Amino acid sequence: MEITALCTIMATLSIFPNRSQFFTYEPVTLSCGELKNSSDWTIKRNTSTKTNEECPKHWGTKNESNCFLQDAYPGDSGLYWCDSGAGACSEAVNITVTGGSVILESPVHPLQEGDAATLRCMNKQRSFINLTAEFYKDGLLIRNSSTGIMTMLKVSKSDEGFYKCTISGSGESPDSWLSVTAGRPKSFHSPPMYVVLPVVGVCLSLAVVLVVLVLLFCLWRNHKGETDPDVSYTDVTIVPEVQPKSDKGGCVFYLLSYLKGT
């Protein structure tokens, strides 16, 4: 069962030096960061022999929210995390202490797609002169480097996996898991107000002009129907039939229908 499935992520476990692999007898500092009431937080670990061990009750020495491993041993390898004791925690980090002569320095925390990543192969003597290293992903050779460094400018989900490195004459490092999460979705940016306001103003002006023109046309049409001089009343024959309704309001009805449709 994953540790983080039992709590809410509200902190980040910091490690110094900033890597997850260490040589035997190296000092390691772990911290829960600058948290409110940081002294109430506890750093815990699961190793191959013990679970839910607290610092400093079972291991290390403590100063506020910091925990120190003065001399790390292979038996200190395991999962480490911050715990508030009240349902909050950090992501767990897998720390490996090796008795070998080569380690891989890689990102401790998950990367997002598009982030850059640097992997560095290190030997116990910390010598970087003529340090030729080979880098492997999931057991397959992916790159040779004459500097002992491998850089990925923009990682993707396909870059997620187990990485290790080898140095000729020194040996190989333990595996280290590189985690890549989906990138942040691109947010929609609405056009600035200095662009929107003029466009709205023009549209409103055109609408007002259109309404005025239609009203003027209606008035002209009704006025013409009432004062037509060509109508002769001497030749009118009254026929008993249903007369159509007056068209005086037709233009206004048309205008209202038009506005409703728009």
Residues 116 and 140 in one domain: yes
Q: Any residues with CB less than 8 A from the CB of 230 and at least 6 apart, and which? A: none
Q: Are β-strands 180-181 and 111-112 bridged in parallel, bridged antiparallel, or unpaired?
A: parallel
pLDDT for 214-261, tens place per residue?
788 777 777 665 555 554 545 545 455 555 554 555 555 555 565 555
Q: Is the pLDDT of residue 33 over 70?
A: yes
Q: Is the pLDDT of residue 112 over 80?
A: yes
| Residue 195 confidence (pLDDT) | 47
One-letter identity of residue 201: G
Q: Is 219 helix (H, G, I), strand (E, B) or coil?
A: helix
Q: Is the pLDDT of residue 94 over 90?
A: yes
Residue 218's domain spans which residues?
A: 192-224+247-262
Residues 127 and 167 in one domain: yes
* 230 within domain boundaries: no
pLDDT for 148-206, tens place per residue?
999 999 999 999 999 999 999 899 999 999 999 987 654 444 555 554 566 667 767 88
Residues 206 and 261 in one domain: yes
Residue 194 to residues 189, 197, 201, 202, 203, Cα–Cα distance (Å): 14, 6, 11, 13, 15
| Residue 85 confidence (pLDDT) | 87
DSSP structure string for 22-43: EETT--EEEE--S-TTGGG-EE
Mean pLDDT of the chain: 82
* 232 within domain boundaries: no
pTM of the model: 0.68
User: Which of 34-38, 111-115, 244-248, 257-261 has the least mean pLDDT?
Assistant: 244-248
| Residue 228 confidence (pLDDT) | 53
Residues 174 and 105 in one domain: yes
86 versus 22: the higher-pLDDT residue is 22
* 13 within domain boundaries: yes
Q: Is the pLDDT of residue 117 over 90?
A: yes
The CATH number given to whatever domain includes residue 14 is: 2.60.40.10
Question: Are the beta carbons of 214 and 258 closer than 8 angstroms?
Answer: yes
Residues 32 and 7 in one domain: yes
- In the structure, what pLDDT confidence band is assigned to residue 40 with cuts at 50, 70 and 90? confident
Residues 86 and 146 in one domain: no
| Residue 1 confidence (pLDDT) | 46
The structural domain count of the chain equals 3
Domain edge (last residue) among 80, 99, 118: 99
| Residue 256 confidence (pLDDT) | 55
